[in-house]
Amino acid sequence: MKTLKKQKAFTLIELMVTMAMIGFLASIILLALGNARLKARDIKRVADAKNLIKSFELYLNENGVYPQYGTAGTEYDLTTAMTNATPAPLAPGYVSQIPVDPALTAQNHPYRYVTDTGGRNFGLAMYFEADGTYCKYRSSGGLVSWFSSAPDCVR
């Protein structure tokens, strides 16, 4: 007479508990990655601002004014303003290409630019996801009132 050997296997409940634990851990990891991406985009914005400010200063040294576009005191999308700036465009002479917000999506938070009459001062505003607000960089004579209530960036 043959004896039946009992095979070892996982029960359905054990498999379901394991799958639930894996799903829970995966969701925690995805949340952590989302925060890391947000911080990385903010770090890129700070780097873009520093590079743009250096480019603006080079532009000022060579042209005697900051890049100008449109009506003085009016905020413009940075790409439009720098592509059509007078007396010369910012790219490719001062930067290889005009940077854009790394998360430019449906929220539509492009970098913003403004100059005063005569191009003696500039303002640059960027949206930071970690704070959920804009902050502004400006030349020493740039107006505090530019970009509404956006505080000066201290990054």
Question: How much is the pLDDT for 110?
Answer: 85
Rg (alpha carbons) of the chain, rounded to whole number: 26
pLDDT in tens, 29-40: 887 777 788 889
**Residue spans per domain, the chain:** 14-138
Question: How much is the pLDDT for 113?
Answer: 92
Question: How much is the pLDDT for 106?
Answer: 46
**Can you tell me the distance from the alpha carbon of 113 to that of 136, in angstroms, rounded to the nearest whole number?**
10
Measured over all CA atoms, what is the biggest interatomic distance in the chain, rounded to whole angstroms? Answer: 105
Question: How much is the pLDDT for 35?
Answer: 79
Q: Is the dihedral of CA 81, 126, 53, 41 positive or negative?
A: negative
Ranges in the chain, pLDDT < 70 = 1-5, 105-108, 155
Question: How much is the pLDDT for 21?
Answer: 92
| Architecture field, domain 14-138 | 2-Layer Sandwich (3.30)
